[in-house]
Structure 1
Amino acid sequence: MMNKYYSFLICFSMFLIFSTNCLAQKGDKAILANPWKVKQQIEKVVVVPVFANKNYSIIDFGAKSGGVVNNSEAFKKAIESCSKNGGGKVVVPAGKFLTGPIHLDNNVNLHLEDGAEILFSTKSSDYPLVKTTFEGTECMNHSPLIYAYNKKKVAVTGKGVLNGQADNDNWWYWCGAKQYGWIEGRGNQNDPQNRIRLVESGEQNVPVEQRIYGEGSYLRPSFVEFFECTDVLIKDVKIINAPFWVIHPMKSTNVTVDGVTVESHGPNNDGCDPEYSKNVIIKNCTFNTGDDCIAIKAGKDGDGRRVAMKSENIIVQNCKMLDGHGGVVMGSEMTGGIKNVFVENCTMDSPNLDRAIRIKSNSRRGGIVENVFVRNIKVGQVKEAVLRINMFYNVYGNQTGNYIPQVKNVILENVKVKDGGKFGVLAKGYAELPIENVLLKNVTIDKVGEAYSIENVKNIQFVNTFINGQKVESPQ
């Protein structure tokens, strides 16, 4: 009797697995058949928060302009009062207002009027420990400059400026690079007790609450971080001089980044880094950065496998990318996986822009990137490649392991490039798990060194694609 029972369980389990796989395959087929229809469906799901028509000026809570007096308490009181009374706008009027970290609450829109500038303290001791992340590993570290944890309906809006005041004397030198002000005797993140210890704690599954960093650890905080938030908006503001990643939606859902300008050329100054996040729209923005303009992430190594969340349904549209390591990038922290990325109607152009579209991982990261759709892109100049897929990305020493990354279904169409740099397509995968299904359709690339350089790529097709004036045939 028991044998029959176990046989039934085994058969039923196999049926469930088979059914789930069939549904997944149908889902993949549906999005490949009409990806832009799926994009429209995602847009309908994303909720832009609406706030009560009530204003709470920081002046009424004791804030002083001039950039000298620390207004942390005024910001805190205004936000508390706004949230407690049903929400609305916390208004920052024209002027310069110095503060420590700003922690948002439910139903609060931090609104900077035209001419307003928030100057963030450069004293690391002003930033208390909070649950956050550094380069894809969760930890307790300095609070981001603007932070929301487990909140619903939060926003940062307006025509004002968020100034992190980071430079070679403040925050940036923590990276340990001489070009950013580090000199012998100064602390930096590369001390074995800092970044290396954090990565090891992720590998060893140390509880996040026990990963204590902060003062003396030299792990820079993100600028704007929404951690486990729902219905998020950041609109119109200009963000300059960030310590680290600039806009970081972390484990968040329904996020809109609209009309934001990022100008920050420090180390790891990615413009926008959705991580473990779902239903994210980045539109009408300008990125001029010291690292990737947009970098979609999903955790790193052992910690990414612990969290095991995808970043999915990410839309980038009508954006302008200037300086940066890449225009739209996936990785390298992508262990949890990245799925359904849509990029359309963007312009990318700078002698300091290395690649237009980039996917990067390695066998220590692992992870999968699937369903990347790019259309109607105008590229003026890039240095290295229009499309770069690197499964052997290597920083911080040996990055090899037992987790071979996977990339499949990458489609570029209606792309025009004036100066393509060294390669049209530069892609290298693993023989055990090749990069799969890459399509360039109606693509024109001029002034490029080589049409493509590929290794372990399965099913790459060129359809009506011209490189240096010559029509490119698909490899056999």
Structure 2
Amino acid sequence: MHFPTRLRLLGLALFSVLAVTRLSAAGAPGALTWDDVPAILARIVAPTFPDRDFSITDYGAVADNQTDIKPALDAAIAVCHDAGGGRVLVPTGDWFIAGPIHLRSNVNLHLAAGATVNFSTNPSDYLPVVRTRFEGTEVMNLSPLIYAFEQENIAITGSGTFHGRASRDNWWTWSREARPHIQNARQQGEDNVPVEERVYGAESGLRPVFVQPYRCTNVLIEGVTFRDSPMWFLNPVLCTNVTVRNVSTIGHGPNNDGCNPDSSRDVLIEGCLFDTGDDCIAIKSGRDADGRRVGVPSENIIIRNCEMRDGHGGVVIGSEMSGDVRNVFAEDCRMDSPNLERALRIKSNSFRGGVVENVHFRNVEVGEVSDAVFRINLFYWSERGPHLPTVRHVTVENVTSQKSRRAFHFHGLDELPISDVTVRNCTFNGVAEPSLLTGIENLALRNVIINGEPKQN
């Protein structure tokens, strides 16, 4: 079949299309498929804790939303940890905390129904600095609001609310002011400056994330609601065995991503609600030279039964993915909002690089998205360099959508095209414009319907 005939059969009015030179099923020898998911799930086991409680009221906490509960909470966590573990209980009430919560091994921080913990918005309360990642670059910066470093068997559970209280009167204003500091941190990463010397703080403009377990094992975040984060909400970094279940993240500030597994493996995200100012779920693995230095991929990520409302993307990979991402499985999700831009999105560029492979997306109901249902962009942002990103072995199946600008928008590199993408048994209705495909080879459409017309090659 010659190239013009293929275009007529696809019926997508493609522009600047790299020819689909051959057809093959997405995948390769050794590539993980849905058949491998049970083995991954068998390794993802939520931690358990001794049956004993340590209420913060026993250590002097007062629920008047004025008295700082940090001394009491710190004391309860220390006693619980020293006793061999258990549950640190925050009872019903409105609480105020002037600084971060630092979790320790074998501690389950439990937020009772009707409990709200309101965090200080004073940056100096989050000193001293800790080792963290800011948008994929390791730095010494303000502590995340809830943080754990090199701990194991930790949890945040319950049905109450953690309120970051970020707004355009405090944390969110930093998104405009921080650019020179962010560029400096990234340059330090390029120059391989020791992380201990990359020191930022209360005047730096590098906003802390809400929850960041860092180099932790056996992590559970379940049931609670997080509102109005300074930046990203949930950001496990360099972690293994992570469960995020029945959590809500609600916030429409700049960079208010919902859940960002970063260089982490064996991660389950299920039953969650995301209503965010940026990507709902964004899988990452470090940025640029610093991400390549650490060199740890995100892998074996399972996403299921989640609801995505507002956000830049429902399930996203990148853009900080220099350490690679592989084996991502997303299924049985619902996505719908005029303020949700895309359902599945992969993004990088030739400065950030990275390999994305074995991505599987199925049984997803999309109501409305404002851009393409399925978007791959390897020209993200304005950076260009010698690190060509690789995207290969992607399957999308049993997806329906009711309204979008496009069904697909793939923008790959001619030098290293996106490869082996299979879309099968999908229906896209209410599509306003033709799909755009450049820099892609081995695209297979099987039983795909766009605006009532079959598209197959």
RMSD: 0.9
Which residue does the alignment assign to 2:310? 323
Give unpaired runs (5+ residues) of structure 1: 1-26, 177-187
Which residue does the alignment assign to 1:312? 299
How far residue 29 of structure 1 moved from its aligned partner, in angstroms, is 2.2
Which residue does the alignment assign to 1:166? 166
1:149, 1:74 → 2: CA distance? Answer: 20
How far residue 449 of structure 1 moved from its aligned partner, in angstroms, is 2.4
Whether the 8 Å CA contact 1:31–1:38 is kept in 2: the answer is: no
Which residue does the alignment assign to 1:254? 241
Query: Secondary structure of 1:463's partner?
Result: strand
Give unpaired runs (5+ residues) of structure 2: 1-26
Query: Secondary structure of 1:274's partner?
Result: coil
How far residue 276 of structure 1 moved from its aligned partner, in angstroms, is 0.4
Matched, 1:432 2:419: no
Matched, 1:378 2:365: yes
Query: TM-score, structure 2 length as denominator?
Result: 0.93
Which structure's residues are more often helix, by fraction? 1
- Describe how 1:69-218 pairs up with structure 2 within 5 A: 69-99=67-97, 100-128=99-127, 129-176=129-176, 188-190=177-179, 192=180, 194-218=181-205
Query: Secondary structure of 1:380's partner?
Result: strand
1:153, 1:270 → 2: CA distance? Answer: 25
How far residue 28 of structure 1 moved from its aligned partner, in angstroms, is 4.4
1:386, 1:57 → 2: CA distance? Answer: 47
1:451, 1:238 → 2: CA distance? Answer: 39
How far residue 97 of structure 1 moved from its aligned partner, in angstroms, is 1.1
How far residue 452 of structure 1 moved from its aligned partner, in angstroms, is 2.2
Q: 1:465 aligns with which of 437, 441, 448?
A: 448
How far residue 451 of structure 1 moved from its aligned partner, in angstroms, is 4.6
Query: Secondary structure of 1:448's partner?
Result: coil
1:473, 1:422 → 2: CA distance? Answer: 20
How far residue 30 of structure 1 moved from its aligned partner, in angstroms, is 4.1
Aligned length in residues: 429
Which residue does the alignment assign to 2:21? none
Provide, for residues 443-466 of structure 1, a one-character-per-residue CA deviation record: whole Å limited to 9, x for no partner: 000011245210110111110110
Matched, 1:45 2:43: yes
1:406, 1:97 → 2: CA distance? Answer: 47
Q: 1:349 aligns with which of 336, 339, 346?
A: 336
Provide, for residues 166-210 of structure 1, a one-character-per-residue CA deviation record: whole Å limited to 9, x for no partner: 00112000001xxxxxxxxxxx211x2x11110000000001010
Provide, for residues 274-303 of structure 1, a one-character-per-residue CA deviation record: whole Å limited to 9, x for no partner: 000000000000000000000000100010
Query: Secondary structure of 1:60's partner?
Result: helix
Query: TM-score, structure 1 length as denominator?
Result: 0.89
Tell me the amino acid that sits aligned with residue 170 of structure 2. Answer: N
2:246, 2:405 → 1: CA distance? Answer: 32
Matched, 1:59 2:43: no
2:29, 2:48 → 1: CA distance? Answer: 36
Tell me the amino acid that sits aligned with residue 246 of structure 1. Answer: F
Which residue does the alignment assign to 1:179? none
2:36, 2:432 → 1: CA distance? Answer: 36
Whether the 8 Å CA contact 2:28–2:393 is kept in 1: the answer is: no
